[in-house]
Homo-oligomer: A and B are copies of this chain.
Amino acid sequence: MIAVDVMSGEKHPEVIIKGALRAAEEFNIKVGLVGDEELVHDYLKKSGYQYTGNVEVYHASEVIAMHEKPAIACKKKKDASVIVCARLVRDGIAQGFFSPGNTGATLVASFMNIERIEGVLRPSLAAVIPTVKGKSVLIDAGANMECVPEYLAQFAVMGEVFANKVQRKENPTIGLLSIGKERSKGNDLTLKTNEILKDLKMNFVGNIEGYDISDGDIDVVVCDGFVGNIVIKVTERIFRLTVEFVGQEVENHLLQRIGYALIYPAVRNMRKKTDPSEYGGGYLLGLNANIVIGHGASDSVTAYNGIHMVNVAIRNKLTTLIVSRLEELGLKK
């Protein structure tokens, strides 16, 4: 079963439930809807849902909102939907969950309740990012602020397994995000991480620069969580802003305004391709669970995509593969 936190998003729980029902039917999987029982049952009734045994409802009396401080909220709200999801995994009832909420709270709830994969030093957040050539993955996207080289080396391995099994990339290229291609460029952390990665039997291309991320030749971008979080937010905003820049420019020119109207479908497509809420969200790797954290603005498609990602990970035994790959490369700690 995959647990689905229907309460924590910015939109109405109905949109998440809708995405979950679609996923349950299309993938023929069991989903556990976690949230206000009455609200969930009301929606199921209203929507004319026919009980087929693939949907369960688990009550959670509380919700952690987007703006709440993760550690404090998780301590206070013991019956929050995201914590109930984590507990369902802990108790072996669910093999993973999707939450469209507060990333920090999902991390804390997961760390508190679910064990790490044997040999993994730090769980990490993998984020799917848009590039010109399709989707890449960036790891760590914000779970670990302070890192040592051994963490980053493991992130590289977890990212490789993710790119290979979830994104179906053969022998994915791995790049270490730094300030120059030469091995001698970087900060202490990346210099030492490069030393580890360069000797591993993986497709490590060496250091990459900020320029390279969106070009799409690098399948797995490795960095610490502080840098990763900033890069993802910069990327997300600028993809939007460029269109705004052009919009500002055309405003005073009739012909250009007509032109802008003509290309609008292309702009909309581009926005869609670069919209983080389309991807289903960030993937929490390194715990004995399959957890996807959606964008706060997740709609039913995001939820559907997110649950799909959880399902793909479960079916491909991602957690087991991470252990064996770490072992193979001598990085199991």
Residues of A whose CB lies within 8 Å of any CB of B are 69, 132, 142, 145-146, 177-179, 182, 184, 186-188, 190, 209-215, 225-227, 229-239, 241-246, 248-250, 253, 255-256, 258-267, 269-270, 273-274
- Report the Cα distance A301→B244, complex, angstroms: 26
- Report the Cα distance A214→B187, complex, angstroms: 25
Q: How far in angstroms is the closest Cβ of chain B from A273?
A: 7
Chain B contacts for A270, CB-based, 8 A: 242, 245-246, 249
A245 x B211 contact (CB < 8 A): no
Chain B contacts for A263, CB-based, 8 A: 246, 249-250, 256, 259-260, 263
8 nearest CB pairs, A to B: A259-B262, A210-B233, A249-B266, A242-B242, A259-B263, A210-B234, A145-B187, A210-B230
- Report the Cα distance A266→B232, complex, angstroms: 27
- Report the Cα distance A178→B234, complex, angstroms: 12
Chain B contacts for A227, CB-based, 8 A: 226-227, 230
- Report the Cα distance A276→B267, complex, angstroms: 24
Instruction: Name the CB-closest residue of B to A216.
Output: B241
Interface SS of chain A: helix, strand, loop or mixed? helix
Chain B contacts for A184, CB-based, 8 A: 69
10 A-B pairs with C-beta separation under 8 A: A69-B184, A178-B226, A179-B230, A210-B234, A212-B237, A227-B230, A239-B245, A246-B266, A249-B263, A255-B262
Q: Given A179-B226, A230-B177, A244-B132, is A256 in contact with B249 using a C-beta cutoff of 8 Å? A: no
B258 x A262 contact (CB < 8 A): yes
B242 x A187 contact (CB < 8 A): no
Chain B contacts for A234, CB-based, 8 A: 210-211, 213-214, 231, 234-235, 238
Q: How far in angstroms is the closest Cβ of chain B from A186?
A: 7
Contact of A231 among B145, B231, B242, B245 (CB under 8 A): B231
Chain B contacts for A250, CB-based, 8 A: 263, 266
Chain B contacts for A265, CB-based, 8 A: 249, 253, 256
- Report the Cα distance A273→B245, complex, angstroms: 9
Instruction: Name the CB-closest residue of B to A189.
Output: B226
- Report the Cα distance A236→B264, complex, angstroms: 24
Chain B contacts for A273, CB-based, 8 A: 245
A210 x B226 contact (CB < 8 A): no
Instruction: Name the CB-closest residue of B to A241.
Output: B214
Chain B contacts for A69, CB-based, 8 A: 182, 184
